[in-house]
């Protein structure tokens, strides 16, 4: 695991110091831009009261459920489409018809069909995450170098061995990239749907504070979202590095002269 680069923390620290200075001087009203130290104090109180852990846990449960289903069905369908021309002819038009539709444009329909509970929220997250994963899976499989396929076949590889030893390992970087992209998308979809219709979750926490003009709580919620998104991305990077360490090493060796 790589150590955190201290140099990358300089710009966020400078930004926070400037924000603190401007807010304390009073150039901008505190109701518009609160003092960062005050926001952190409010956030700490919300953590101690259990409010932040409660809403964060609910959001994570929704996010992981929708994302998990999207990963399973996205990779599965992507592999089937890449494997069979018949399946591709059936599902490819449907994917291309639904994929361009905005997830938030479909929210009213999902609410009508499934209500405003967790089910509709999970389906919305699923829809947002599904397409990057399935498209990257298809692209990864279809982008496998034909020379690798020919070499494997010349060595007597069976169809099953081609998939387990050539197609899937070669496509794995694209598949993992699609999953990582969907990690950020899941957070955006989750927050949006919780803001539109919800009585729990981080998105609800932020919009509820906005309704009462409690700017400190709004910024506290935004900080939680930032930390959550950053942490999930770092976890995704770490998993990507662990799974694809062989690919990274191969790429580095291939680039040497």
DSSP one-letter string for 44-99: HHHHHTTHHHHHHHHHHHHHHHHHHHHHHHHHHHHHHHHH-HHHHHHHHHHHHHHT
Q: First vs last Cα of the chain: how many Å apart? A: 27
* Tens digits of residue pLDDT in 182-223: 888 888 888 888 888 778 888 888 998 888 888 889 999 898
Q: Digits of tens for pLDDT over the chain (257 positions)?
A: 445 567 767 877 888 888 888 878 877 777 788 888 888 899 999 999 988 999 999 999 998 999 999 999 999 999 999 888 899 899 988 988 888 888 888 888 888 898 888 888 999 999 999 999 999 999 888 887 778 878 877 877 777 878 878 888 888 888 888 888 888 888 888 888 888 877 888 888 899 888 888 888 999 989 898 888 888 888 888 887 787 765 554 444 444 44
Q: List Cα–Cα distances, 33 to 22, 36, 37, 173, 224, in angstroms.
A: 9, 9, 12, 42, 17
pTM greater than the 0.75 cutoff:
yes
What backbone torsions phi and psi does residue 71 show, to the nearest 5 degrees?
A: -65, -45
Structure tokens at 190: 């989750």
**Which domains are seen in the chain, by residue range?**
53-242 (1.10.3720.10)
């Amino acid at each position: 695991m790589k150590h955190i680069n201290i140099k990358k923390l300089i710009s966020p620290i400078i930004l926070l110091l400037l924000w603190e200075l401007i807010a304390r001087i009073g150039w901008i009203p505190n109701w518009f831009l609160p003092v960062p130290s005050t926001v952190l104090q409010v956030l700490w109180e919300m953590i101690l009261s259990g409010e932040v852990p409660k809403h964060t846990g609910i959001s994570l449960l929704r996010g992981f459920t929708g994302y998990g289903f999207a990963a399973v069905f996205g990779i599965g369908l992507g592999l089937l489409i890449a494997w069979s021309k018949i399946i591709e002819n059936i599902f490819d038009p449907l994917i291309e018809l639904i994929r361009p539709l905005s997830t938030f444009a479909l929210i009213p329909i999902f609410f009508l069909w499934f209500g405003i509970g967790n089910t509709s929220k999970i389906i919305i997250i699923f829809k947002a995450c599904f397409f990057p994963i399935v498209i990257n899976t298809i692209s990864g499989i279809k982008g496998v170098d034909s020379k690798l396929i020919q070499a494997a076949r010349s060595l007597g590889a069976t169809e099953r061995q081609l998939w387990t030893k050539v197609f899937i390992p070669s496509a794995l970087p694209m598949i993992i990239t699609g999953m990582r992209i969907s990690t950020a998308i899941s957070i955006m979809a989750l927050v949006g749907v919780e803001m539109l219709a919800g009585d729990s979750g981080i998105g609800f926490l932020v919009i509820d504070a906005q309704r009462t003009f409690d700017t400190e709580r709004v910024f506290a919620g935004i900080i939680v979202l930032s930390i959550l998104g950053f942490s999930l991305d770092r976890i995704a990077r770490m998993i990507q590095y662990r799974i694809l360490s062989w690919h990274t090493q191969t790429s580095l060796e291939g680039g040497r002269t």
